[in-house]
Structure 1
């Protein structure tokens, strides 16, 4: 098995890459340290082009940010800032669209292959009962729509390809450090193992779906 982990320098990405290698997979990692900037279309295009001769059974996107431009998530709509919101969308939504455009062609053809991207339960419109975090929620909701829409087009060309959004749980990482005190948390290793188990069970009928780390579907 060949896997590409995008964002392998982060807590979850590193754990996913480690667990895949433990399973015997051949893993390629990409992150900002390799020059990949999801907010720069040319960077994404050039990075993918440099790998155009490779094909992967799994492309796992572990990128994302809760804090954008140094600004904490808003607690009220009165705190909305256009530049901060744009930064959230650039990484958490547009960046994922660029990955799908340039990297999904690297999925192995004519066989089961998966493109999985970390989203967040707070991006679920139907599950939102608390409010707040408008920019982050909206960017993740946009990512979910991007995943759903791209999955339809990709499956029309490759019926065994599976494109999904994944909620990793509340994981003990630098991203959640200031916000996890009131929520049960899991380690990056626990999250990675659970997410890979979810991916293992996916079939083409699951294309375009949203799953949490426990293997339960998340409402869009």
Structure 2
């Protein structure tokens, strides 16, 4: 499933747990509707949307984390596949967009923070940085969050970024994909594309 990656030298990858709105964001970016299941965890292989002439693609990786009705071993395998995919293509991934649910992310992280447990989102954030992939955290569904600044500061804190969040605008991007309000994310992605000397890809963001 993961072997069918188109041969492109430049990629922006969307990662995140199931049900955070990755597919909605993908649709917002590409104008293309992908076949997503009604249940979390239905997308098991990456969705690639590519522009051959530009040698570029956007990839929506399968959701990780808890998925109802999905056995633990399948869940772990999916996570392993995602990690391997990122490791194998790290030199081609110009930016990874880690999508989290603005309303639930901090609670989920806190719920899974134990002595021998690192929450998936935090683990993925640090893993991406470890393999030198610039990461933008797209904090989705912000239209449902009341205490916006407080919530974003808490998220920064959990990710090991020193609050206030506003000093991390190339990393933390509050968005609402369903409402088409994704500018903070596209600005942050453009920043990283610029750093990679790929301003030609701005047209897609």
TM-score when normalising by structure 2? 0.47
